[in-house]
Every structure is written in C-alpha cells, then in structure tokens.
C-alpha cells in the first residue's frame, strides 16, 4: 500500500531575525499568494521573540509558525527556557527538537529530545525530531546505525497516536554547501522509513521524513524527488524569501 504524503518545507531561521526580518515573511507571503498554490505545507521556525508575529502575519498566506526548541516541562524554574505551551500560545503549530546544534552545544541526549517531543505533543504541537550522523560516523560506515539509535531513543511512543515529523540532517552537510548523493539520501530515508513502519505500522508509513543540510534553490528539485523524502528543513536558504520560495516551488 502506498501512502500519499503532502510534503512539508520548513525554514529554520536559527538565531537570525529581528522584527525587520518580517519583511522577508511579507515578501514570501506575496509570492505564495500570487504564484501557483504551493504543493507543500510551509512552516517558518523563527527565533522565539517573533514566533507570534510570524504566526499572525503568515496566516493569510498559509505560512505556519514553529519554535526551534522547547523545554520538557510545562512550566517552572527554568530561566531562559521556553515551554511548548508558550509556543502554542504564541500561535506556533510545530517545534524543532533535537537539532544537532543543540545536541552538540548543550549535550542534549536522545532521552531529553524524546521528553521534549512528548511535551510538544502534550501542548498540541507537532514535533520535528532531528537526527543525523557526523562525518566521522559516515566515513566509518556507521551512519545508518547511528541514526537508527537516535530515532529509537528520540521518538516517543505517543507518535502512534499523534503527528510527528522526522528530519534527517547529516551534520557534515549543515551550512557547508555539501550534500550526500541522491543514492545515499534514498538509502538513509529508506532505512528511516523501515524503522518507522516496524515500530508504528501504517502510522509509520505516513510520517514525513524531511531532508536537511545545504538544501538550496540549486539542488532542491533533485533532492526533493528522492524516494521517501517528504520535504525539507532549510537553514540558510530560508532567510531570503526568493530562495525559500524557489525551494517550495521545487516540490
Ligand atoms: P543549512 O540549510 O544552512 O545547511 O542548515 C540546515 C539546518 O540545520 C536546518 O535545520
């Protein structure tokens, strides 16, 4: 049985964006509403300070907002952190969890990522759960095992009943301009799909698996048509409306 999945293109603005950056959002909204209707769900994950503005200003063009991280707890003494419920309250519908930059900089473990994903689901958000190998792990031939372990540890059982999204982002491809070959992407996404269907059955067949890592206007068309690639998680190229729109249009 084949499951039809509407692709999703998410922009991760990382720690970039002031209120003035909303001009790019306005430009993107203009392109999305005047051109051909996008064939993908479009999400922007800006810094937390402008999530509410993105949610408000993007709505009429169908642009959805997401957070870049959340705490596993609903509230409490966690200075500087943000709860999933706060993002939802600001109008977010998605949240990235377990991005490799957070796993590296804050030592986030699979267990913590799973707890964040559970908190997101509890707050009514759809978690975008990130996994991906280092270059050394790929060179050693361990990429699939590393990603399989991350998936097993990071995806909560609640994914059986709720929507989760997986983002495969090879760490060595992030911000480097380098990407895996289409065959390597197909192999990894196929392996992720098998793991999802083994664990969640038919539900796993419908989980979106995004590719991320130097996804650009120049390579989007090719990468987004690889089997089991159900959209993309875009960093640098999501900051400019024109580039991001070109990637969305490549679906
Ligand atoms: P780049 O698209 O800038 O390589 O970043 C990818 C990424 O980390 C998205 O989460």
CB-based contact 130:91 (threshold 8 Å): no
- The pLDDT value recorded for residue 142 is 98
Active-site annotation, residues: 99, 169
86 lines ligand 1 (CB under 6 A): no
How far from 99 is each of 43, 66, 171, 173, 236, CA to CA, in Å?
Answer: 16, 14, 10, 13, 15
Does any ligand 1 atom lie closer than 6 A to the CB of residue 233?
yes
Residues 6+ positions from 204 with CB-CB distance below 8 Å: 193, 195, 196, 197, 198
Residue of the CA atom closest to atom 9 of ligand 1: 235
- Please tell me the distance between residue 220's alpha carbon and the centre of ligand 1 in angstroms: 13
Query: What is the end-to-end Cα distance of the chain in Å, rounded?
Result: 22
Mean per-residue pLDDT over the chain, rounded: 97
> Ligand 1: does its nearest atom lie under 6 Å from the Cβ of 229?
no
C-beta separation of 61 from 38 below 8 A: no
Region 208-233: mean pLDDT is: 98
Please, what are the domains in the chain? Answer: 8-36+48-236 (3.20.20.70)
- Whether 18 shows a pLDDT value over 80: the answer reads yes
- Rounded Cα distance between 11 and 60, Å, is 18
Q: What is the mean pLDDT of residues 181-195?
A: 98
| pLDDT above 90: residue 37 | no
Is the pLDDT at 3 greater than 80, yes or no? no
| Digit-coded pLDDT (tens) for 94-124 | 999 999 999 999 999 999 999 999 999 999 9
For residues 96 and 139, the answer to whether their CB atoms sit within 8 Å is no
Give the model confidence (pLDDT) of 156-185 as tens digits: 999 999 999 999 999 999 999 999 999 999
Please tell me the distance from the alpha carbon of residue 251 to that of residue 249, in angstroms, as a whole number.
5
Residue 161 Cα to ligand 1 midpoint, Å, equals 29
Task: Please tell me the distance between residue 76's alpha carbon and the centre of ligand 1 in angstroms.
Answer: 31
For the CA of 173, the closest atom of ligand 1 is 4
- Has residue 8 got a pLDDT over 70? yes
User: How much is the pLDDT for 36?
Assistant: 83
Q: Is the confidence at residue 4, as pLDDT, over 60?
A: yes
**% of the chain exceeding 70 in pLDDT:** 99
* Residue 2 confidence class, pLDDT cut points 50, 70, 90: low
Q: What is the average per-residue pLDDT within 148-160?
A: 98
Contact between 163 and 129 (Cβ < 8 Å): no
Using CA atoms, how far apart are residues 249 and 118, in angstroms rounded to an integer?
32
Looking at residue 35, its pLDDT comes to: 78
Pocket of ligand 1, candidates 210, 233, 240: which has the most ligand atoms within 8 Å of its Cβ, to mutate? 233
> Atom 1 (ligand 1): residue with closest C-alpha?
235
The predicted structure's pLDDT at residue 1: 45
| pLDDT > 90: percent of the chain | 97
Q: Is residue 239 lining ligand 1, measured as CB closer than 6 Å?
A: no
Distance CA 117, CA 139 (A): 30
Q: Is 235 in the pocket of ligand 1 (CB under 6 A)?
A: yes
Rounded Cα gap, residues 187 and 195, in angstroms: 12
């Amino acid at each position: 049985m084949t499951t039809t999945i509407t692709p999703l293109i998410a922009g991760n603005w990382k720690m970039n964006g002031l209120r003035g950056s909303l001009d790019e959002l306005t430009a993107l909204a203009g392109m999305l509403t005047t051109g051909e209707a996008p064939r993908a769900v479009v999400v922007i994950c800006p810094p937390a300070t402008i999530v509410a503005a993105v949610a408000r200003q993007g709505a009429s063009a169908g642009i959805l907002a997401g957070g870049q991280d959340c705490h596993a707890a609903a509230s409490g003494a966690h200075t500087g952190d943000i709860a999933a419920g706060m993002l939802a309250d600001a109008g977010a519908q998605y949240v990235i969890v377990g991005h490799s930059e957070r796993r590296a900089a804050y030592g986030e473990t699979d267990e913590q990522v799973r707890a964040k994903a559970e908190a997101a689901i509890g707050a009514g958000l759809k978690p975008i759960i990130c996994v991906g190998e280092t270059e050394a792990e790929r060179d050693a031939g361990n990429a699939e095992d590393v990603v399989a372990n991350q998936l097993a540890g990071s995806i909560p059982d609640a994914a059986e009943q709720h929507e989760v999204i997986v983002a495969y982002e090879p760490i060595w491809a992030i911000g480097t301009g380098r990407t895996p070959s289409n065959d390597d992407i197909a192999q990894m996404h196929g392996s992720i799909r098998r793991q999802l269907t083994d664990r969640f059955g038919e539900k796993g067949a419908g989980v979106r698996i995004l590719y991320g890592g130097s996804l650009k206007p120049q390579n989007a068309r090719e990468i987004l048509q690889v089997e089991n690639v159900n959209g993309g998680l875009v960093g640098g190229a999501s900051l400019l409306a024109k580039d991001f729109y070109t990637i969305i249009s490549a679906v």
